[in-house]
């Protein structure tokens, strides 16, 4: 039985990391719902191009700042009704290139965001990740699974940053009664992803459109569960609109191997690219699929865009950006 989600009476929102892929979609959706939005981003991995189409809209304000800096709070006067804390390098290429900044935003950045929430009496939602489960020994992954994470591996700067941020949010809820929650996101994809950020969907699409070899790590048997950005945004805002304090998985439930994903992207783009196998990264998870029972049964959320349809939309986006039309682009 679904728990009725109240329509939030939000007037003003802060989205940290708002110029990133997912953050920009959240800013847009909030504006469409007549919520004023402050978009805070230091542009380490985000791009102002992602929100350029929002700059002239009433109620939108871009603030270039690092939420982990001591002076960040002074640049964000609020008051806010909801704070979506999405600031963090999310792709392997970014967090491996900026390990200390990744740890800083998960620790000091989260503490500053919590301080803003306490100042304004705002609801805060932390964007966590399926990476907190590491290379999971339980499948699919439920929210009560503690994970299998290498704390000193190359991916640990991202994994442990998010795990610490979750602990920090939980401690503030228990100690100060902060209205805060946690959403664990699984493999979101869609328009505005960067072409070469190290994640499989944009990498495979851009390689296929260019006719280059599509590089599959290892034998490609590792799995991922893709969730189109519109569905993720809906899930995030659904969790934000509740007073839930427990972590909630938001992600697709159609599990696909990386090799099959590469084959289908080649087919959908009409590309002549061949698959090339490369060395698999250290600590790369073997299987990844969320158990979304909590989101579905308690909140009434479930993904609605089939992943093949979402992939076609994403191909169209990259084809329009690169000027390289695909044989399958535009097909529905």
Mind listing the pLDDT tens digit for each residue in 279-312?
998 888 899 999 999 999 989 999 999 888 999 9
Give the pLDDT of residue 5.
45
Which pLDDT value is given to residue 189? 96
What residues are labeled active site?
A: 158
Which pTM value belongs to this model? 0.93
Q: Which domains does the chain have, with CATH numbers?
A: 12-188+227-250 (3.40.50.720)
pLDDT in tens, 266-275: 999 999 999 9
| pLDDT band at residue 324 under the 50/70/90 scheme | low
**Pairwise CA distance, residues 225 & 231, whole Å:** 13
Say yes or no to pLDDT of 127 above 90. Answer: yes
- Would you state the structure tokens that stand for residue 282, as one six-digit string? 């250290």
pLDDT of residue 157: 96
């Amino acid at each position: 039985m679904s728990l009725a989600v109240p329509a939030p009476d939000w007037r003003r929102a802060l989205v940290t990391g708002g110029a990133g892929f997912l953050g920009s979609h959240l800013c847009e959706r909030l504006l469409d719902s007549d919520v004023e939005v402050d978009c805070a981003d230091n542009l380490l991995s985000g791009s102002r191009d992602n929100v350029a189409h929002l700059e002239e809209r009433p109620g939108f304000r871009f603030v270039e700042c690092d939420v982990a800096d001591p002076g960040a709070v002074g640049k964000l006067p609020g008051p806010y009704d909801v704070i979506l804390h999405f600031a963090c390098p999310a792709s392997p290429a970014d967090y491996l290139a900026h390990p200390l900044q990744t740890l800083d935003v998960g620790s000091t950045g989260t503490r500053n965001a919590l301080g803003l929430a306490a100042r304004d009496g705002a609801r805060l939602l932390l964007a966590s990740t399926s990476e907190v489960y590491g290379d999971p020994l339980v499948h699919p992954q439920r929210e009560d699974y503690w994970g299998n994470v290498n704390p000193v591996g190359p991916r640990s700067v991202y994994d442990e940053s998010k795990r610490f941020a979750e602990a920090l949010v939980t401690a503030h809820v228990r100690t100060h009664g902060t209205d805060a929650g946690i959403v664990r996101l699984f493999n979101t994809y869609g328009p505005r992803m960067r072409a070469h950020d190290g994640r499989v969907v944009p990498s495979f699409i851009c390689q296929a459109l260019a006719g280059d070899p599509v590089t599959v790590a290892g034998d490609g048997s590792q799995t991922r569960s893709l969730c189109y950005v519109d569905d993720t945004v809906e899930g995030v805002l659904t969790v934000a609109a509740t007073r839930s304090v427990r972590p909630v998985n938001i992600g697709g439930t159609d599990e696909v191997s990386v090799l099959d994903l590469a084959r289908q992207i080649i087919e959908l783009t009409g590309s002549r690219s061949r698959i090339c196998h490369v060395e698999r990264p250290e600590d790369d998870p073997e299987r990844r699929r969320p158990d979304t029972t909590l989101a579905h049964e308690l909140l009434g959320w479930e993904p609605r865009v089939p992943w093949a349809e979402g992939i076609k939309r994403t191909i169209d986006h990259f084809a329009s950006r690169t000027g390289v039309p695909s044989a399958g682009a535009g097909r529905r």
